[in-house]
Amino acid sequence: MKNFLTLLPLCLFILSLTPVTHAATLKIATLAPAGTAWMKEMLKGADEIEKKTGGRVKMKFYPGGVMGNDQSVHRKIRINQLQGGAFSSSGLTPIDPNIQLLSLPMLFNSFAEVDYVRARMDERIKKHVADNGFIILGISEGGFARIMSNRSMPDMQSIRNSKVWIPEGDTLVQHTYDTMGITPIPLPMADVFTGLQTGLIETITSTSTGAIAFQWHTKINYLVDLPVLYVIGVLAVDKSAFDKINPEDQKVVIAEMNKVFSALDKINREDNINATEALKTQGIKVIQPTPEVTKEWKNYSQQSIQKMIKSGIIEKSMVDEIDALLVEFRARK
């Protein structure tokens, strides 16, 4: 016993020098169905993370919306049933509304502008969200969303007279439509197909890939060829859960997810361009807006952005940064 007591301090000292292994499983909810390109890339990234961390960090995905809508996912994150989710920008609005800065209405005129701004703003946005409690592991391009409807939408008044859907909880689109005099009908994404089928809604704003993936395109007849907003998807995890992973393993997670989302940006852009062409060849009538209608959209969009700044929904300084980058890029062109 005496020898044991003599050796005890030495044993404790040696243990204190031994690195502590921080094992973690990040459980992630997503609406993406199993088998999609998004899920395939995520699973490849998860395999690499597990391999390179020696099994200390694992990622488990719950695809197809089995964990419910965004509100349900946030609730499950709060009680530690989940550690993160794949959200649209509107899905992270309760955490930090500035996540929607890249999706401001009529912000971008081209993919070239998108690439220029994102190369300079993605990390800035990630840091802002991290300060509000979530780590963004990746931002992926969803593409440009357009107005789609089962009735002709040649001008703003025809949209006002329509039953317009917006995603449940999407404050940015809600404020934009309020400015335009449009009274939208908020629904979860899971209810959009039924809404179109029953006539509860007639008009949606969606990317082409989204419309095809969720079969919404089977219930629409017209597409207004005007990219009204740029859509992003975000993979985000609770910061308190991420902080439990040791710093070296955190670097591995971030590096591997950067590779995944770089690949996804390329895949999603190509898919969205192809999907837009597919819609145009499947009997959907394409409406080319007149210059006057386009100008009207831009004017209302600018008004809605200024209202969101004044009401404190988004930060003026960050909007100004993006505006300055666009001015810089357009001057070069």
Which residue ranges make up each domain of the chain? 22-332
pLDDT of residue 58: 97
Q: Which residues contact 230 (CB under 8 A, 6 or more apart)?
A: 102, 103, 107, 108, 114, 141, 142, 143, 144, 145
pLDDT of residue 11: 46
- State phi, psi for 228 to the nearest 5 degrees: -80, -25
pLDDT of residue 70: 87
- State phi, psi for 88 to the nearest 5 degrees: -75, 170
The CATH number, out of the four listed (1.10.150.120, 3.40.50.2300, 3.20.20.80, 3.40.190.170), of the domain defined by the range 22-332: 3.40.190.170
- The pTM of this model reads 0.86
pLDDT of residue 196: 97
DSSP bridge partners of 205 = 147
pLDDT of residue 20: 47
Name the residue type at position 204: I
Tokens of 188: 């979860």
Residues of the chain falling short of pLDDT 70: 1-22
DSSP bridge partners of 24 = 57
pLDDT of residue 19: 43
pLDDT of residue 16: 45
pLDDT of residue 14: 44
Tokens of 12: 């404790």
Helix (H), strand (E) at residue 120: helix 111-130
Distances (CA, A) of 199 to 57, 190, 214: 47, 15, 17
Identify the CA nearest to 233 among candidates 108, 105, 145.
145
